Structure 1
Amino acid sequence: MADTPVPPLYRPAAYQAADAVKIVHDHPFALLMSPQMHATFTPIVFEFDDRSDVMVGHMAGRNAHAMSLQTGDQALAVFAGPHAYISPRWYVEKPSVPTWNYVSAHVRGTLEVVTDDAAQLAILRRSIDLMEAGFDTPWSIDDAPEGKVDQLLPLIRSFRLHVETIEGVTKLSQTHPSGDRARIISGLKADPSSDLADHMINIENEKPSVILNSKL
């Protein structure tokens, strides 16, 4: 199985993300898939810093997926950013058909199951510290009710994902004329729940990265 070529993420040249790592960092709630055909949504973060080659996460121990995890398993984590339907009513200069714009990244690597309490606690602390970083008064795992963490540790199963590749795609109407792109951005801005328009504006200054298909 180790000799089987890994299929790459479908990402035409025009849509290659300039910084796939940033997508992973900004959208840490990922879908983890492993060889047993299990798939679970769970936060997955870099263990040390955004350019390290190890990511960490955990899931409920009673989850059949958690029980199936084995050290050495190949795994795929899919990080999904903003996405939206693109109506053809916004195409004037280059009439076309409906499509969907989106931002996503694929991380592939090898799993290492983590079961000892100290390592699992470190993984929880790392995840919480990153998620709380934007608050004025961040909550720490040390603020948990007395005994709560000790109660929960045996009920989770943690893992490290030793990263082999990170690939990103930003399909944001790059192949359309500037006027149509402006209309798309305007149309997307009408939906206050979507921040895809900001990504379309920012993509103008991005260039494809050379690290996307290589080992970090």
Structure 2
Amino acid sequence: MYTPSAFRDDDLQSLHAHIGNTRLAVLITHGEQGLQATHVPLLLDPQSGEKGTLYGHMARGNKQWRDLESGAEVLLVFPGADAYVSPGFYPSKAQDPRTVPTWNYVAVHAWGIPEVIHDAEPLLAIVRRLSDRHEQGRERPWSVDDAPADYLDGMLKAIVGFAIPIERLQCNRKLSQNRSAIDREGVRSGLAASADPLDNHLAALMQQP
């Protein structure tokens, strides 16, 4: 990922927060089947390893898990807020029209070598933690314990788990830092006034220190 120094974020706590807030990541491998990508929800244990460890699972019918077993490095993409930036947002355009559209966005990439999990007990722990996380706040949260034991056993046999200790992290937090203060405020105001909630989300990020 091209990351100019103005947009680079190396703060581990900030990167972990972004990963934790990403509901669906993209897991990318390059093996005998060529390039493969699967969209997966993941759990981050920030205390496991130097940069944290990611946990998840995929269907056993998804042959990408065999790439995970090969011992090759994988790439995980954690997309964030993004928004089109119009040149009309820049107050400086009135004095200097030499400007073009761009795109503001936040994204984190992580690399690591996976460990594949087949045993039922650690698989169930991953499923339980994922379910508990995404059921939070519901009036009647669903639990894996609500499913019949024999049904759950069958479902666990149909998935493969994995743990990925993070070896490298990269973040591009492109929020108009390369523009003047007045132009940055013009972008933030323009996105905040948009009817698109995704634009509003990015405007809120621009307001953060």
Is this a same-fold pair by TM over 0.5?
A: yes
Alignment of 1:2-41 (within 5 A): 9-17=1-9, 18=11, 19-36=14-31, 37-41=35-39
Distance 1:146 1:133 in 2: 23
Cα pair 1:15 1:170 within 8 Å, conserved? yes
Gaps of 5+ in 2: none
TM-score, with structure 1 as normaliser: 0.81
Match status 1:44 vs 2:50? no
Gaps of 5+ in 1: 1-8, 206-216
Counterpart amino acid of residue 8 in structure 2 = Q
Cα pair 1:59 1:158 within 8 Å, conserved? yes
Which residue of the partner structure matches residue 165 of structure 1? 168
Distance 2:46 2:137 in 1: 16
Alignment of 1:129-168 (within 5 A): 129-135=132-138, 137-144=140-147, 147-168=150-171
Q: Say if 1:166 and 1:28 are closer, same or farther in 2 by CA, change over 3 A.
A: farther
Instruction: Provide Cα deviations, 1:125-172, integer angstroms capped at 9, x if missing partner.
Output: 122222233445543222335543222111111111011112211101
Cα pair 1:11 1:169 within 8 Å, conserved? yes
Out of 197, 204, 208, the position equivalent to 1:193 is 197
Which residue of the partner structure matches residue 66 of structure 1? 65
Query: Which structure has the larger Rg over C-alpha atoms?
Result: 2
Alignment of 1:67-82 (within 5 A): 67-70=66-69, 72-82=71-81
SS across alignment from 2:79: strand
CA RMSD of aligned residues (A): 1.9
Normalized per residue, the structure richer in helix is 2
Which residue of the partner structure matches residue 178 of structure 1? 181
* TM-fit CA distance, 1:89: 1.0
TM-score, with structure 2 as normaliser: 0.83
Q: Percent identity?
A: 37
Instruction: Provide Cα deviations, 1:33-82, integer angstroms capped at 9, x if missing partner.
Output: 11222111101211xx3343221111111112134431522111010001
Instruction: Provide Cα deviations, 1:1-53, integer angstroms capped at 9, x if missing partner.
Output: xxxxxxxx42111111242121111114111111222111101211xx33432
Q: Which moved more, 1:165-174 or 1:130-139?
A: 130-139
Q: Which moved more, 1:164-173 or 1:132-141?
A: 132-141
Corresponding residue pairs, total? 193
Distance 1:22 1:137 in 2: 27
Q: Say if 1:186 and 1:63 are closer, same or farther in 2 by CA, change over 3 A.
A: same
Instruction: Provide Cα deviations, 1:94-137, integer angstroms capped at 9, x if missing partner.
Output: 55211111111011111111111111111111222222334455
